């Protein structure tokens, strides 16, 4: 019984550390992006949801496409290096629904 409680405490401590580390990395990335590219970068990727891997971004794009019946696709952000989603076609300036 004691070992189970110890394991739960260790897991809770570990999860707090992981979440704190995620926030620290995100805050540092946001600060780096803003300082290097200014307000333009914040508008381009600061308010968007970021995905760490292409696979996760493509899974979410497929989910959103099915939910909203509008084609979504994943792309790698040239500013922050993370993956974002868009409804724009690969051709600049056109939306997938047009």
User: Which pTM does this prediction carry?
Assistant: 0.54
pLDDT of residue 98: 47
Place of tokens 């974002």: 84
Residue-wise pLDDT tens digits, 78-87: 777 889 999 9
- Mean pLDDT, the chain, as a whole number? 77
Residue-wise pLDDT tens digits, 25-57: 666 666 665 555 666 666 677 778 888 899 999
Collect contacts of 32-39 with beta carbons under 8 A, ≥24 apart.
33/79, 33/80, 37/79
Residue-wise pLDDT tens digits, 15-32: 887 777 777 766 666 666
The sign one gets for the Cα dihedral 7, 8, 13, 14 is: positive
Locate the domains of the chain by residue range: 1-47, 49-98
CA angle, 12 as apex, 9 and 16 as ends, to 5°? Answer: 140
pLDDT of residue 60: 94
- What is the DSSP code string of the chain? -HHHHHHHHHHHHHHHHHHHHHHHHHHHHHHHHHHHHTHHHIIIIITS--BSSHHHHHHHHHHHHHHHSS--EEEE-TTT-SEEEE-B-SSTT-BTT-
């Amino acid at each position: 019984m004691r070992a189970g409680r110890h394991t739960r405490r260790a897991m809770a401590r570990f999860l707090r550390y992981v979440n704190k580390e995620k926030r620290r990395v995100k805050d540092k990335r946001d600060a780096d992006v803003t300082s290097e590219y200014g307000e333009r970068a914040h508008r381009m990727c600061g308010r968007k949801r970021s995905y760490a891997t292409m696979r996760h971004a493509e899974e979410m794009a497929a989910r959103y496409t099915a939910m909203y019946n509008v084609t979504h696709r994943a792309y790698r952000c040239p500013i922050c290096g993370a993956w974002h989603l868009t409804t724009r076609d690969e051709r600049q300036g056109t939306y997938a629904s047009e």
